Amino acid sequence: MKHPSGNSSPLTARMLGSSSISAKLTRMNLMVSGLVLLLAVVAFFVYDLVSFRHNLIRNLQTSAQIVGTNSVSALLFDDPESATTTLKALRSSPDVVAAKLVDNNGRVFAGFSQPGTKELPPTVPLPPGVSDKIWTNGNRVLLAHQIIFEGKPAGIVYISAQLRETGRRALQYLLIAAVILLFCMGAALLISATARRLIARPVIALAETARRVSRERDYSVRAGPHADQDEIAVLIESFNEMLSQIQNQDRALTRARDNLELRVQERTAALRAANRELEAFSYTVAHDLRGPLDAIQGMVYVLEHLDEEAGEEQPREILEQLRNSTRGMAGLIDDLLNLSRASTVALKKESVDLGAIARLIAEDLQRAEPERQVEFRIADLPPVEADTGLMRIALDNLIRNAWKYTSQHETACIEVGMMRLRGETLYYVRDDGAGFDPSKNDQLFQPFHRLHSRGEFPGTGIGLATVQRILARHGGRIWAEGAVEQGATFWFTVKSASSAVA
Amino acid sequence: MTALALAVTAAMYAASPVNRADAERPSPDLVEAAYLYNFGKFVRWPATAAQGPLVLCVAGQDSVNQILGRLAAGEQIEGRPLQVKLLERIDEAGSCSILYVGSAERRAVDAYLGATAGKPVLTVGEAPDFLVRGGIIQFVLTGSHVRFSVNLDAAHRNSLQLSSELLKVAVSVTGQPRTGGLP
């Protein structure tokens, strides 16, 4: 479809395009009604023309028959005046132009013509055996009727007629059709106004909404409601639903983006913290290694500058201190190796008897310091699927801790046991030693964080961190309960609750 | 077309017993004979006389007789065969359906009318006073045209009903029409 405003702005063209739905509807209405009316008029006109001509000709035939019957005696008894009188009765027929009677000899017996006409109908002989015949030429009709009386021909009536009415009727028809067409145009305009309200306007409103959505990227816009339950309502509903989905997806996308940023920030912070921790760790390791090394250097210096008369006692003491220092360094290095191994070594899972390991450790400790009065209560523990070496390191750390922090009490009791809670197996190592400040609970498992001074209890501060990593690698966890001088209980699980159930 | 028209006209001449030799002005006798024959078509006889052949009687020797005989040969009127009869005796007139009293028997008109009085006989005559004497139809010569006058009262006396079509073409009609006329 071409718009006359071809070079106007695209917006105008678009507006014309949209509003042309109603224009199309109007045009369609007009076309349909006009066509129907035209066909109806033509059909009626043709029907009327045919039936009208038919009726006219029938009337003429009837007239011819009456004239014929009434002229029989005049023909038989040679009375043209009487026949003329009979023919004159045709004067009242508006279509009859002229009429005549022809006797059996082909002689014109009587004639009649309307005022203003002089010609009588032509004498056209009838074929044998035919009593009535009609010739038509446009609106002119010639009718012949053979008069039969007592089974014998008595003469022929000729009537010529002009169907003048036909033309006038055609004019009337056209006039009426034109008036009706005008009415139909008006009706079509009214109907199309209704159609515009019912169909075009919702569609145009929908198009405007769609345009606004695409222009402003505002997915919260909704097309207005539609009163009827038709296809347009379905269209509007689907459109709104589509908008809702787009809006939801848009929202989800925004949320995901925000979450991602938050997560990146969290990760960055965690990385930064880990970095800082690592720096602190390196510093602590260096510092802790440096301490014994300084002591060793100092003692070596003292040994070098010892007097001859220092005797034997002094160097032996110094050597003893030297050994202690190197042992401390070795212990620290072992612990660091354990911590590293706890993180990196490949897990080799097998059935492990935690109780047996605990008893071995307890025996070792008692053998090393037989003077201490410590009671071990080690329960029989069910076998658990774990890495034997790592579990040994973990239990060793926990039990040695308990041994260490009960060292300032004359008698002590160390318990190793388990309990089941909600399908989970909880192990514990409990002592009645120095305990700890519960408010610093979260620092217990950080490397090099010590809650007691080195002078009070020796240690590297790596043990519990190592234990936590080992248990974490097995899918378990560890936490502690305790109070200052009330002892401490370390609870741990080897497998996570969910995997234990599975 | 012209050839066909001629042929049709010729056919009509052949078919028509009435105006056979009408190419020129026909003789009054011929016209009268044709009229006599045609009268039978416009008259209704009472039921008692409506059976059997229609007997057309010609009183006395008359040229009409021969013409009539030719015309009526093999013809029928309303299903009744036509029979032409030359009356030898007057008292036979009562058995006629139509009785023609020609100029030859002009003096015997009263006798013929007396013989047919009250009987279903259509009396047709040539005498100028035929109707006055009690005849029903009288030929009248106006110029070269043969016409006729009608006496309805006489027809009624003979129990005959004449068609209004016949009366329409009559020169004059005397007497009062009775109810029950023919179409």
SS3 track for B7-32: HHHHHHHHHCCCCCCCCCCCCHHHHH
Average pLDDT, chain B: 79
| Cα-based torsion angle of the residue sequence B160, B161, B165, B170 in order, rounded to the nearest 10 degrees | 50
Average pLDDT of span A439-459: 74
- Give B182 to chain A, closest Cα distance, Å: 13
B110 in A contact zone (CB under 8 Å): no
pLDDT per residue over A88-121, tens digit each?
988 888 788 899 999 888 889 999 988 887 788 8
pLDDT above 90 (res A454): no
Cβ neighbours of A133 in B, within 8 Å: none
Who among B15, B42, B77 is closest to A153 (CB)? B15
pLDDT band of A40, cuts 50, 70, 90: confident
Tell which wins on pLDDT, B65 or A9.
B65
B42 in A contact zone (CB under 8 Å): yes
Average pLDDT of span A147-155: 87
The span from the CA of A57 to the CA of A42, in Å, is 22
B8, A144 Cβ separation under 8 angstroms: no
The span from the CA of A317 to the CA of A332, in Å, is 23
User: Is B35 close to A73, i.e. CB distance below 8 A?
Assistant: no
pLDDT per residue over A460-486, tens digit each?
778 888 898 899 889 899 999 988 888
B25 in A contact zone (CB under 8 Å): no
pLDDT per residue over B131-142, tens digit each?
999 999 999 988
- Give B78 to chain A, closest Cα distance, Å: 7
Structural domains of chain B in order of their starting residue, each with its CATH number: 27-174 (3.40.50)
Position A338 scores a pLDDT of 84
Percent of chain B with pLDDT over 70: 82
pLDDT above 90 (res A418): yes
DSSP designation for B171: S
B43 in A contact zone (CB under 8 Å): no
A204 in B contact zone (CB under 8 Å): no
Grouping H, G, I as helix, E, B as strand and the rest as coil, residue A140 is strand
Structural domains of chain A in order of their starting residue, each with its CATH number: 10-183 (3.30.450.20), 347-501 (3.30.565.10)
pLDDT above 50 (res A365): yes
- Give B178 to chain A, closest Cα distance, Å: 20
Q: A96, A88, A97: which is closest to A116 by C-alpha?
A: A97
Cβ neighbours of B41 in A, within 8 Å: 76, 149-150
Query: Minimal Cα distance from B163: which residue of A?
Result: A73
Give Dmax over CA atoms of chain A in angstroms.
204
Q: Which residue has the tokens 């010569």?
A: B141
Tokens representing residue A126 in the block: 């009838």
- Give A87 to chain B, closest Cα distance, Å: 14
Substitution target in A107, A142, A150, A156 with the highest count of B β-carbons within 10 Å is A150
Position B179 scores a pLDDT of 61
A331 in B contact zone (CB under 8 Å): no
pLDDT per residue over A271-315, tens digit each?
998 898 888 888 888 888 888 888 889 888 888 887 766 677 777
B91 in A contact zone (CB under 8 Å): no
Substitution target in A78, A108, A158 with the highest count of B β-carbons within 10 Å is A78
Q: Give strand pairing partners of A110.
A: A101
Position A20 scores a pLDDT of 62
- Give A72 to chain B, closest Cα distance, Å: 8
Position A271 scores a pLDDT of 93
Per-residue exposure over A470-496, b if at least 16 CB sit within 10 Å of its own CB, e if not = bbebbebebebbbeeeebbbbbbbbbe
Task: Count how many residues are written for chain A.
Answer: 502
Average pLDDT, chain A: 84
Q: List B residues 65-84 in contact with A (Cβ-Cβ < 8 A).
A: 77-78
Neighbours of A128 (CB within 10 A): 11
Q: How many CB pairs under 8 A join A and B?
A: 69
- Give A150 to chain B, closest Cα distance, Å: 7
pTM above 0.80, yes or no: no
Query: Minimal Cα distance from A70: which residue of B?
Result: B165
B15 in A contact zone (CB under 8 Å): yes
pLDDT above 80 (res B182): no
Position B14 scores a pLDDT of 39
Position A395 scores a pLDDT of 93
A128 in B contact zone (CB under 8 Å): yes
pLDDT band of A259, cuts 50, 70, 90: very high
Who among A72, A104, A125 is closest to B16 (CB)? A104
Average pLDDT of span A441-463: 74
B145 in A contact zone (CB under 8 Å): yes
Cβ neighbours of A125 in B, within 8 Å: 1, 4-5, 8-9
Position A386 scores a pLDDT of 92
Percent of chain A with pLDDT over 90: 24
Low-confidence winner among A2-6, A29-33, A97-101, A169-173 (lowest mean pLDDT)? A2-6
Tell which wins on pLDDT, A309 or A178.
A178
Position A500 scores a pLDDT of 43
pLDDT band of A15, cuts 50, 70, 90: very low
pLDDT above 80 (res A25): no
Q: Give strand pairing partners of B141.
A: B146
Tell which wins on pLDDT, A62 or A281.
A62
- Expressed in percent and rounded to 5, the helix, strand and coil fractions of chain A are 60, 15, 25
- Give B56 to chain A, closest Cα distance, Å: 17
Position A378 scores a pLDDT of 93
Position A19 scores a pLDDT of 52
Handedness of CA A315, A317, A322, A323 (dihedral sign): positive
The span from the CA of A60 to the CA of A247, in Å, is 85
Average pLDDT of span A33-60: 82
Task: Report the range out of A11-20, A166-175, B70-79, B145-154 with the highest average pLDDT.
Answer: B145-154
The span from the CA of B5 to the CA of A218, in Å, is 98
Average pLDDT of span A60-85: 89
A353 in B contact zone (CB under 8 Å): no
pLDDT per residue over A379-392, tens digit each?
999 889 999 999 99
Long-range contacts of B15-20 (CB under 8 A, 24+ apart): B15/A104, B15/A152, B15/A153, B16/A104, B16/A152, B16/A153, B17/A152, B17/B71, B17/B72, B17/B75, B18/A76, B18/A104, B18/B71, B19/A103, B19/A104, B19/A105, B20/B71
